[in-house]
Structures are given as C-alpha cells and as structure tokens.
Amino acid sequence: MEMLQYALRKFITGIPLIIGVTLISFLLMVYFGPDKTYELVGKNATEEQIQEIRHQLGYDKPFVARYLEYLKELATFDFGYSDSTGERVNSILKRTVPISLALITPGFVLGNLLGIALALVAAYYRGHWLDKLIMGGSVVGMSVSFLIVIIAFQILLSSNDGLGWFPVRGWNVYSFWDYLRYITVPTLATVFVALGYNTRFYRAVIVEEMGRDHVRTAKAFGTPPGELLFKHILKNAMIPIITRIMFSIPLVVISGSLLVESYFGIPGVGKVTFDAITTGDQPILKAVVGITAVLFVIVLILNDIFYKLVDPRVSLK
C-alpha cells in the first residue's frame, strides 16, 4: 500500500517529463513537420477539397488544441490510424512490439550478464594480464560500429559467401527452432556491440566498490574472496548496475531494435518506426515517442523502488 502510494506520487512528479518529451517531439515532428495535405488530395483539387483535408488532419486547429488532443490520445492510449496504411496504430503496436521484445531480449540480457561476469573477472584480477586483456578487448568492441558488426556478422554467418547457417533476412517464425535461427545473428551482433561498453562500466563500478572502507573491514575479518566479491561488493554495486540496465530499456526497445530490424527486415516496432520516419507517418511517431516517455517515467519509479529494496539508507519519502 505504501509502495502504491509512493508509485503514484512519483508518477505525478514524472508528468513534467512526459509533457516535455511530447511537447518537443510534437512541435518538431507534427507542428513543423511535413504537411501531408497534398499527398492526400487528388490532382487539381478545389480549395474546398483542400480545406476539407486540412480539417480532417486537424491542421486548421490552433497549436494548443492539437497538442492537447495528442495528450488525450496518450492518456486514453488511442492513437488513431496510420497515415500510410490506414491500420489502427494500436493494432500495429500489438503486432510489432512482441516481435521486437522477442528479438531484443536475449541479446540485452546476455550482453549485461556477460558484461557483469567479465567485469567481475577484470576487477578481481585488477592490473594483471587478464584484466588488461578484457579491457583491451572492450576498447576494441567499443570502437567497432554497430552497423559494421551487423553487416560483417551477416556476411560471415548468413550469406552464401560465408557459412550460410542462418537466414539472411526476414522473420518467418512458426516454431521455437525458427525463432532461434532468426535471432542468432542479430543477438550475436547486439551482444558484441554492447559488451565493450557494459564491461567497462561495470568494471569501473565494481573497482570503486572494492576500494570502499567496509571492504577493507570485511577483509580484516577474514572474509574469503568469493564471499567478499559476491556478497559485500556486488550487493553494493547492484545499485548503479541496475540503474544502468533499467534506463537503457526504453531506448533499447526503440532505438536498439530500429537498426537491427530495418537491416534484417524484421517487422518489429523499430522497423515500423523507421518506416514511419521515412514516410512521415505522424500517428505512429506520436505513439512511439509518447510511449517511450511514459516508459521512462515508469522506469524512474521502478528504479526508486528497487533502490529501496537494495539500499536500506533510502526511504520512500
């Protein structure tokens, strides 16, 4: 009950963020965005026909009214119909979001878990050759562009010039086996790119925690190294680690899947967003931006609640 109250209070403080995100995106994408009137009217349209279309699109209303309408759409979770296909935005999302989640989740989870594991090894052997090897590898990983990794992995693993083990493009998933075949290359590419950044970040966090006074105390009381690392250090390091993971979720869902999906031709929300960008499909863009903002506020709340669970010093006040 206390938790729920807290979450509600927190959500209210998140409203300025939602307003900010939606206002800026609305201003840039819709208000100053492309005028779709002439795409929709036929040739040699009369003045009335043009006015009619402008009215349908809502262009004749004042800015504030149009923006408020957008907020209403967001609050009721009803974004109308896609400009280009005429399909309901909600049904598009319902179809594509699960695909994106299925595509992105394994790589995201693996990238973080492997990152933490490598960071623990590097931090534990700090200054030794193993640490240097892992950190050197991280810099290399950080220096390769995601795009290059995707293309290279596709050539090596999927194309006929390479091993040809996996499908080159698309998403014909009818069984778990299909699923594994289609996600392998995108997942490997995602993990490869995320690993460098994750390992570096997590190692820095763990090394910082290792230098704390209470770690020295634990050592002075004979705590064995495994317990020291996994109990004393990792529990304290969990706070920044989880924060990073949580805050990357909203962006990974949209931005992370955008490149992968458009390159591999996978019909997820990233591909839909990309197509909406190129065709100027405003209802879809409005939905994606709005949902991301709400997702951010939810993450903010979850993160605070998580803090409370891990760190007894934080109270829900």
- Region of 29-37, 41-49, 56-64, 67-75 interacting with other proteins (CB under 8 A): 29-37
Among 159, 164, 165, 170, binds other proteins (CB under 8 A): 159
Binding mask 283-302 vs other proteins (x if CB under 8 A, - otherwise)? --x--xx--xx--x------
Residues 175-214 that bind other proteins (CB under 8 A): 212-214
Among 7, 21, 130, 173, binds other proteins (CB under 8 A): 21
Closest CA to 288 of 300, 272, 265: 272
Minimum distance from residue 276 beta carbon to other proteins (Å): 9
Largest Cα–Cα separation, the chain: 87
Closest CA to 105 of 113, 117, 116: 113
What does the alpha-carbon distance between residue 207 and residue 236 come to, in Å, rounded to a whole number?
11
Closest CA to 264 of 157, 106, 176, 115: 157
316 contributes a contact to other proteins by CB under 8 A: no
Minimum distance from residue 147 beta carbon to other proteins (Å): 5
What does the alpha-carbon distance between residue 264 and residue 257 come to, in Å, rounded to a whole number?
10
Q: Tell me the helix, strand and coil percentages in the chain, rounded to 5.
A: 80, 0, 20
274 contributes a contact to other proteins by CB under 8 A: yes
Count of residues interacting with other proteins (CB under 8 A): 67
280 contributes a contact to other proteins by CB under 8 A: yes
Q: For residues 229 and 146, is the Cβ–Cβ distance under 8 A?
A: no
Minimum distance from residue 306 beta carbon to other proteins (Å): 13
Tokens of residue 85, six digits: 């296909």
- Region of 44-52, 60-68, 107-115, 215-223 interacting with other proteins (CB under 8 A): 215-223
CA angle 175/180/186 to nearest 5° reads 135
Residue whose structure tokens are 């050592």: 219
109 contributes a contact to other proteins by CB under 8 A: no
Nearer to other proteins by C-beta: 125 or 179? 125
Binding mask 242-261 vs other proteins (x if CB under 8 A, - otherwise)? --------xx--xx--xx--
Minimum distance from residue 234 beta carbon to other proteins (Å): 10
Residue 145 has φ and ψ, to the nearest 5°, of -70, 140
Q: For residues 173 and 183, is the Cβ–Cβ distance under 8 A?
A: no
126 contributes a contact to other proteins by CB under 8 A: yes
Closest CA to 269 of 235, 240, 295, 300: 295
Minimum distance from residue 50 beta carbon to other proteins (Å): 20
Among 164, 219, 230, 265, binds other proteins (CB under 8 A): 219
DSSP letters spanning 36-67: -HHHHS-TT--HHHHHHHHHHHTTTS-HHHHH
34 contributes a contact to other proteins by CB under 8 A: yes
**Residues interacting with other proteins, by CB under 8 A?**
16-17, 20-21, 24-25, 27-29, 32-34, 126-127, 139-140, 142-148, 151-152, 155, 159, 161, 212-214, 216-225, 232, 235-236, 250-251, 254-255, 258-259, 262-263, 273-274, 277-278, 280, 285, 288-289, 292-293, 296, 310-313
